[in-house]
């Protein structure tokens, strides 16, 4: 089986840098993706292919990977960035997806 592990929660003050990690063996060979989900809304892609930012996503969102760990970095976090963040990747075949358990980001 394949799993992605995230911390349940991360808390920062406004303007600080938030780092959310995602660990899993599959990340050694497969890309990581990050989704933001605000309460009652559908997920929104904020990072694709480890570190690429979709159009419309603020520059304060960035991503990095090293070995079996991916990190979402929010530089100068804002209150509006609060929500749940999920990492995503695939198994070695690329055919089956897996989400991390999610991390609740609090900015206060």
The footprint of other proteins (CB under 8 A) covers 30-31, 33, 35, 37, 42-45, 48-49, 52, 54-55, 84, 86, 88-90, 94-102
Task: For residue 21, give both structure tokens.
Answer: 């990690």
Shortest distance, position 37 Cβ to other proteins, whole Å: 8
Shortest distance, position 71 Cβ to other proteins, whole Å: 17
Q: Looking at beta carbons only, is 19 or 104 nearer to other proteins?
A: 104
Shortest distance, position 70 Cβ to other proteins, whole Å: 13
Q: Looking at beta carbons only, is 17 or 52 nearer to other proteins?
A: 52
> Taking the alpha carbons of 67, 71, 47, 52 in that order, is the dihedral positive or negative?
negative
Burial class (CB in 10 A: 0-12, 13-18, 19+), 80: exposed
> What is the per-residue burial (b if ≥16 Cβ within 10 Å, else e) of 54-64?
eeebeeebbbe
Q: Looking at beta carbons only, is 26 or 71 nearer to other proteins?
A: 26
């Amino acid at each position: 089986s394949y799993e992605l592990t995230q911390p349940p929660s991360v808390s920062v003050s406004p303007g600080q840098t938030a780092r959310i990690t995602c660990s899993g063996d599959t990340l050694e060979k497969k890309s990581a993706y990050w989704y933001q989900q605000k309460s009652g809304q559908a997920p929104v892609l904020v990072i694709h292919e480890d570190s690429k930012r979709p159009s419309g996503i603020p520059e304060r969102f960035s991503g990095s990977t090293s070995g079996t760990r991916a990190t979402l970095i929010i530089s100068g976090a804002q209150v509006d960035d609060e929500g749940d963040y999920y990492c995503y990747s695939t198994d070695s075949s690329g055919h089956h997806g897996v989400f991390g358990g999610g991390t609740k980001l609090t900015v206060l």
